[in-house]
Each structure stands twice: as C-alpha cells, then as structure tokens.
Amino acid sequence: MGTSDADRIRLLGRDLTAELMGQVSFAELAYWMVTLRRPNPGQTRVLEAVLVALADHGFTPTAIAARVTYLSAPDSLQGAIAAGLLGGGSRFLGVTEDCGSYLHEALEAYGGPVPSDDAGWDALALETVRTTRAAKRFVPGLGHPVHKQGDPRTPVLVGIARDADCYGPHLALFEAIGRVHDQVLGRQLPLNGAGVCGAALADIGIPVPMLRGFALLARCAGLLGQLAEEQRRPIGMDVYLTVDRNATYVEPELDN
C-alpha cells in the first residue's frame, strides 16, 4: 500500500509529496486506498456527500460516549474518539453497512437483468420485502427515531447521485422499497439517511464489507467536533451527574 525511505514516501505506487499532496482530496484518497481504483469526479462527489451526511447527528450515543470518556480521561483524546466509534452498531451507523449489504444480497439473489422502469423495480422491491417479512427480519434503512416524516438527507443524496451519474441499482431498489414497503408492513416508514448512504456507497463501487468503515470515517470527524465543543463548553460532568443523581437503585433478586 505504501512505503518510505530516507528521501521519499510512496503510496499507491505514487510519490506522496509530488503526486498526491495538494492534488488528491482525502475522500478521493480513502476510496483509492480501499478499492485500488481512483474514483472519477462523480464518485468523489457522492462519497464527499456521504461523509458529510454521516458526520454528526447531535447527541447520539456515540457522541455521548465520546464526551463522557473524555470527562474521565481528558489526557486521552484517542480514547474518547475510540469510545464513540465503538458504538457504531446495528442502531447507529451500522445501518449504512446493513442496508448496503441487504440491497446487494437482494440484487444478487434476483440474478437477472436489472429492471428498466419503476414498475419493474417496484415488483422486485415488493418481493424483497415480502421475503424479508416471511423470514421475520427487519428491512434495514426504514424508519428514523427523529425524522419520522422523512429524512432530509435521503432526497438530497439521491439527487446528487443522479446528477453525478452515479445512480445505480442499489439506490433504485432502495427507492422502490420506499414506495412499496407499506403494502407488506402495513405502515409507511421513511427511508433513513444511513440507509441511503449505504446504497449510494455500494453504487459507487465501495465493497460491501467496507461500508461501515466509511460511516466510521465520517463519524470520526463528527466526534472530533463534539470533543472540541466539549473542551469549549463541557457537558460531560452534567451528563454523569444527571444519570448518577436520578438513578433509582433496585435491590437485585438473589437466589437463597
């Protein structure tokens, strides 16, 4: 991947200082390092949009974990960031990977040529949701605890992907699921931002097993911002005291 000697640093077969620094964006470099392909301008634009979309979402568990860890160990910025990143799971951030993987598996199981119109995508989406429901599984990317009437990131990212000529089968199937899932689930749920990010990343060629890594890359920037704010306007102690002072102790039921 990279190497160095006394005079030069090489990365991806290029001279770091002469060919990469000042000429390649960080998002472009991350894509290149993971896929071993340099992204085109459209792919870079979509990736940049995804990283911005996933950077921060307020006082999520990942942000709270980072701030409280920083309260406990202000000498360990890396520990606070790590604490926040470790919380990237099936409910927060991990949905990006879960949704991208779900869509990818559905497309592989379908196997045929991709539909050419919305009606074809809707039929495939309906069958996909029915199969998921029959297996008693959740459809990842549906619903949001805050944006119950629609995640504002979803239409914007879809629009960027279309404009960048990066709208592919994962986004097409995801949008179709958004149109038809209520026929199976009995209620209308919004397509959330983490899910649409997974679909977009898959469409620009990010390997499915690496999708969560890009969500974590984005959130790392958000956690840096949270911790910078914690230094300026600390709330970690308030969080700790609120929990500690308001918790009700319940005696454990012990076996005699």
Mean pLDDT for 230-243 is 94
Task: Give residue 16's pLDDT.
Answer: 92
Question: 81 and 39, same structural domain?
Answer: yes
Tens of pLDDT, residues 197-221: 999 999 999 999 999 999 999 999 9
Question: 191 and 218, same structural domain?
Answer: no
Backbone angles phi, psi at 159, to 5 degrees: -65, -40
Mean pLDDT for 38-45 is 97
In a domain, 243, yes or no: no
Q: Please give the residue that has the higher pLDDT: either 34 or 144.
A: 34
Task: Give residue 43's pLDDT.
Answer: 98
Question: 223 and 132, same structural domain?
Answer: no
By CB neighbour count within 10 A (0-12 exposed, 13-18 middle, 19+ buried), where does 62 fall? buried
In a domain, 194, yes or no: yes
Task: Report the relative pairing of strands 9-11 and 14-15 from DSSP bridges.
Answer: antiparallel
Mean pLDDT for 160-175 is 97
Domain of 119, CATH number, reads 1.10.230.10
Question: 202 and 109, same structural domain?
Answer: yes
Count structural domains, the chain: 2
Query: Which residue range forms the structural domain that includes residue 73?
Result: 24-90+210-234
Question: 125 and 41, same structural domain?
Answer: no
Tens of pLDDT, residues 45-66: 999 999 999 999 889 899 999 9
**What percent of the chain has pLDDT above 70?**
100
Alpha helix stretches (DSSP H) within 186-235? 193-203, 211-232
Question: 141 and 45, same structural domain?
Answer: no
Q: Please give the residue that has the higher pLDDT: either 91 or 36.
A: 36
Task: Give residue 212's pLDDT.
Answer: 93
Question: 46 and 59, same structural domain?
Answer: yes
In a domain, 8, yes or no: no
Give helix 153-163 / helix 41-54 axis angle, nearest 10°: 170
